[in-house]
Amino acid sequence: EHPIAAKLKAALDATHVAVEDLSDGCGAKLKITIVSAKFEGLPLLKQHRLVNDAAKDELSAVHAFNLKTFTPAKW
């Protein structure tokens, strides 16, 4: 499991977290998918801010990431 995935699971009480390296193994570009009930009722921008705040230190080393957030009902 990717270290960012473990951190996001714990911080957001996520039911699903997938982290895919899109940069040939160097970790510079990631695709992150998260399902969490904490996203219920929040606009997309606030959902993404929750993710950024939860893994701020880890994401600072990443050049770019594609983020998809879902509530359990939408997943």
| Residues spanned by the domain of 25 | 3-70
| Triad 62, 73, 13: Cα angle to 5° | 50
Examine residue 75 and state whether it is found in any structural domain, yes or no.
no
Query: Please, are residues 22 and 30 in contact by the beta-carbon 8 Å criterion?
Result: yes
The verdict on pTM exceeding 0.85 is: yes
| 21-52: pLDDT as tens digits | 998 877 789 999 999 999 999 999 999 999 99
**Per-residue confidence (pLDDT) for residue 28, from 0 to 100:** 86
Count of structural domains within the chain:
1
Examine residue 41 and state whether it is found in any structural domain, yes or no.
yes
| 4-15: pLDDT as tens digits | 999 999 999 999
List the CATH number of the domain containing 57: 3.30.300.90
